[in-house]
Amino acid sequence: MRTFRAVIDALGGPACYARGIIEIDGRLGMTVQYAPHLRRRNSIPPKFWPATVKLADKRGLAGVTHEALAAIYAAERTKRATKRA
């Protein structure tokens, strides 16, 4: 997967993703209302990465690792920095 949007969609879409994150760690501050915002912004903040990796593993989704999320994050930052320049 090349975008955070693709990760969220592969995990069932925003509402399903949010419920999964809440189930794994309800202390993170994820809400069903917040997840669509993340998808629109093509962003998953690093504090959600461990739970995202666990959720992907639980649902049998290969390729969602800390390294993969970090690579997406770096690519998005580069893309945004290029647009500003």
Mean pLDDT over the full length of the chain? 95
* pLDDT band of 85, cuts 50, 70, 90: low
pLDDT at 45 exceeding the cut of 70: yes
**Would you list the DSSP string of 43-61?**
---GGGHHHHHHHHHHTT-
In this predicted model, what pLDDT tens digit does every residue of 5-14 receive, in sequence order? 999 999 999 9
DSSP symbol at 62: T
**What tokens does 31 get?**
């809400």
What pLDDT, in 10s, does the model give residues 48-79? 999 999 999 999 999 999 999 999 999 998 88
pTM above 0.95, yes or no: no
Give the residue numbers spanning the domain of 30.
Answer: 4-84
Domain count, the chain: 1
Does residue 82 contact residue 49 with C-beta atoms inside 8 Å? no
